């Protein structure tokens, strides 16, 4: 743990394992309520000086952190693969994405502008200033354990906030490396504090109840996000929530089904399907199901599964046993209700797979609304194809979910593209595009996928309060 610039080994510790091999990777401090309060003490004490530093000073620190992260991309990516499982190449892409937030918000720090507004009274002027909200509590997930950190730390530090962050219990090691790097870049003691914990609840309870924490930023499941938001709301804290998703992927009849299937195969199995923007329902017109599925199955069968450190691996292990059980239960449920399993459909546990948590990349066709996978986030390597017919309103079908994070559309018709963009109730729409994300773009969901945006011009606003001054002349 890092509290007030000091690294603490902690009285209790817990171990972190490699999901590909089951081997222990290291031990970290097991923090709880007392450590969280100590971290808030440090963040509250460090806040006035950090908030008073110039935007240019804070930007310089973030720029140095960007440079260090890019220099260390190889070693960070290696640790990321060992701790989280994603293949090494994908880990390097995530690390670059993480670094991009540092660079982007280093620039944005210098663009926190105020306003001078006209008043209805001739003898009055209005001044508007944006200032940091104060101490921020941050809770991050395991699936993108380096980029989700910088997506919060970047804007918080740029705005002049101080932070207490709790990483996911499965991936604290990469968080420790990021905090060391930020210290090295010149972030002063107490400005960033890291509390690692096996049980997240006591840490969360302090973060949502301590009055000195002015904002909570959370990325994780909708269920936990709702609990934390309710508690934070009771204490009138600002919140931003990046939660679960259930992305539709619509192939319109005018699109090339083979091209769309290539896109689906590429995006669905990224991070073993453990992404909040991973397509969960592939809507394909019944007349095009055959060519779409043929291409998808061909590509899925070529995906090499294994330890992400090895050359050529495209699909690594799932994060843990519970994830394997959840994915398998969704596949069994779909098959029992009539879906056809055209690839995979089972856990891989022979030979080298025995010690890890691997699931075969899976294609299910004939998905219907009564199946669990049609409603619940899979968070695993399963492509679920839902056929639709001429009379079906596929946009309405896509919107029929409590989630609203990402949606994908394949069409060659401009009208269909624009109408879909406007009518889909999701925060992020990929149009013939399977990667509609970047540090420069606002990321976030509507409905039960969350509140607020990360990245883009919007990202820093989440860490700023607006203050009005009225001046009588």
Which of 19, 85, 87, 141 is close enough to bind ligand NAD by CB under 6 A?
A: 141
Interface with ligand NAD, residue 137, by CB under 6 A: no
CB 426 within 8 A of CB 442: no
Q: For the chain, first and last CA: distance in Å? A: 52
Stretch 437-466: interaction string toward ligand NAD, x if CB under 6 A: --------x----x----------------
Contact 435, 247 (CB under 8 A): no
Q: Which of 208, 190, 209 has its CA nearest to residue 48?
A: 190
By CB under 6 A, tell whether 144 contacts ligand NAD.
yes
Residue with tokens 């906030």: 161
**In 3-state terms, the chain is what percent helix, strand and coil (to 5)?**
40, 25, 35
Residue 15, beta-bridge partner list: 27
Closest to ligand NAD by CB, 85 or 200: 200
- Within positions 243 to 282, which residues make up the interface with ligand NAD, using CB under 6 A? 243-245, 276
Site for ligand NAD in 58-77 (CB under 6 A): none
Q: Shortest Cβ distance from residue 242 to ligand NAD (Å)?
A: 3
CB of 384 to ligand NAD, least distance (A): 16
Segment contacting ligand NAD (CB under 6 A): 13-21, 133-141, 175-183, 332-340? 133-141
Q: Read off φ and ψ for residue 260, nearest 5 degrees.
A: -65, -40
Cβ neighbours of 174 (radius 10 Å): 27
Determine phi and psi for 178, rounding to 5 degrees. -65, -40
According to the binding rule CB under 6 A, does residue 377 interact with ligand NAD?
yes
Shortest Å distance, C-beta 200 to ligand NAD: 3
Q: What residues from 181 to 210 belong to the interface with ligand NAD (CB under 6 A)?
A: 200-201, 204
Residue 110 or 201: the one with the smaller Cβ distance to ligand NAD is 201
Query: What's 113's DSSP letter?
Result: -
* Beta carbon of residue 151, minimum distance to ligand NAD (angstroms, whole number): 8
Q: Which residues contact 253 (CB under 8 A, 6 or more apart)?
A: 285, 287, 288
Q: How many residues bind ligand NAD (CB under 6 A)?
A: 29
Q: Is 29 a binder of ligand NAD (CB under 6 A)?
A: no
**Cβ proximity to ligand NAD, 146 vs 394, nearer residue:** 146
Q: Count other C-beta atoms under 10 Å from residue 92's C-beta.
A: 18
Nearest approach in angstroms of CB 291 to ligand NAD is 30
Restricted to residues 393-412, the positions that interact with ligand NAD (CB under 6 A) are 405
Q: What is the dihedral sign for C-alpha 158, 161, 166, 172?
A: positive
Could you tell me if 166 and 195 are in contact, meaning their C-beta atoms sit under 8 angstroms apart? Answer: yes
User: Of residues 27, 63, 107, 169, which one binds ligand NAD by CB under 6 A?
Assistant: 169
Q: Is 139 in the site for ligand NAD (CB under 6 A)?
A: yes
Task: Give the contacts of 375 (CB within 8 A, at least 6 positions apart).
Answer: 246, 401
User: Where does this chain touch ligand NAD (CB under 6 A) — which range of 121-129, 180-188, 215-223, 289-297?
Assistant: 215-223
**Catalytic positions, please?**
242, 276
| Binder of ligand NAD out of 35, 83, 94, 242 (CB under 6 A) | 242
**What contacts 400, CB < 8 A, 6 or more positions away?**
none
Which of 67, 94, 64 has the alpha carbon at shortest distance from 79? 94
Choose which of 47, 142, 374, 463 interacts with ligand NAD (CB under 6 A): 142
Among 18, 162, 193, 219, binds ligand NAD (CB under 6 A): 219
Strand pairing partners for 122? none
- The region of 19-27, 59-67, 140-148, 299-307 touching ligand NAD under the rule CB under 6 A is 140-148
List, in sequence order, every residue forming a beta bridge with 192; answer none if it has no partner: 163
CA distance 448 to 451: 8
Residue 168 interacts with ligand NAD (CB under 6 A)? yes
User: From the CB of residue 229, how many other CB atoms can be counted at a distance below 10 Å?
Assistant: 21
- Is position 330 an interface residue for ligand NAD (rule: CB under 6 A)? no
Nearer to ligand NAD, 73 or 166 (CB): 166
Region binding ligand NAD by CB under 6 A among candidate stretches 74-82, 85-93, 152-160, 239-247:
239-247
Tell me the C-alpha distance between 179 and 185, whole Å: 10
State the residues that interact with ligand NAD by CB under 6 A. 139-144, 148, 166, 168-169, 200-201, 204, 219-221, 224, 227-228, 242-245, 276, 377, 379, 405, 445, 450
């Amino acid at each position: 743990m890092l509290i007030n610039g000091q690294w603490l080994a902690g009285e209790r510790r817990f171990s972190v394992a490699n999901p590909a091999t089951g081997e222990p990777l290291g031990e970290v401090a097991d923090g709880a309520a007392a450590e969280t309060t100590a971290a808030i003490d440090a963040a509250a004490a460090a806040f006035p000086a950090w908030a008073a530093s110039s935007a240019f000073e804070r930007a310089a620190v973030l720029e140095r952190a960007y440079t260090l992260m890019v220099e260390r991309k190889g070693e960070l990516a290696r640790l990321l693969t060992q701790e989280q499982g994603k293949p090494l190449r994908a880990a390097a892409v995530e690390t670059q994405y993480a670094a991009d937030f540092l660079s982007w918000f280093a620039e944005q720090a210098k663009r926190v502008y105020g306003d001078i507004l006209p008043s209805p009274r001739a003898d009055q002027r209005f001044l508007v200033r944006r200032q940091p909200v104060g101490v921020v509590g941050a809770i991050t997930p395991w699936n993108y354990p380096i980029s989700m950190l910088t997506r919060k730390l970047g804007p918080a530090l740029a705005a002049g906030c101080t932070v207490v962050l709790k990483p996911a219990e499965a991936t604290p090691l990469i968080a420790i490396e990021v905090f060391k790097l930020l210290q090295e870049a010149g972030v002063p003691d107490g400005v960033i504090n890291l509390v690692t914990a096996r049980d997240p609840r006591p840490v969360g309870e302090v973060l949502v109840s301590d009055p000195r924490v002015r904002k909570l930023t959370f990325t994780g499941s909708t269920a936990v996000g709702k609990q934390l938001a309710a508690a934070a709301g009771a204490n009138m804290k600002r919140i931003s929530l990046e939660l679960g998703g259930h992305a539709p992927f619509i192939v319109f009849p005018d699109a090339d089904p083979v091209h769309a299937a290539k896109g689906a195969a590429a995006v669905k199995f990224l991070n073993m399907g453990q992404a909040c923007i991973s397509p969960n329902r592939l809507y394909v017109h019944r007349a095009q199901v055959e060519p779409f599925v043929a291409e998808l199955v061909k590509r899925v069968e070529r995906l090499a599964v294994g330890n992400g450190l090895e050359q050529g691996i495209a699909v690594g292990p799932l994060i843990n046993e519970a994830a394997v059980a959840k994915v398998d239960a969704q596949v069994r449920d779909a098959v029992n209700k009539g879906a056809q399993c055209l690839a995979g459909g089972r856990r891989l546990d022979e030979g080298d797979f025995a010690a890890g948590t691997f699931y075969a990349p899976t294609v299910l066709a004939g998905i219907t609304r009564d199946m669990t996978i049609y409603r619940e986030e899979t968070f695993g390597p399963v492509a679920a194809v839902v056929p639709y017919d001429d009379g079906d309103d596929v946009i309405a079908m896509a919107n029929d979910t409590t989630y609203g994070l990402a949606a994908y559309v394949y069409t060659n018709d401009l009208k269909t593209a624009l109408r879909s963009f406007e009518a889909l109730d999701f925060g992020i729409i990929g149009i013939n595009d399977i990667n509609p994300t970047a540090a420069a773009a606002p990321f976030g969901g509507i409905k039960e996928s969350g509140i607020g945006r990360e990245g883009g011009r919007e990202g820093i606003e989440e860490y700023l309060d607006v203050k009005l001054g009225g001046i009588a002349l």
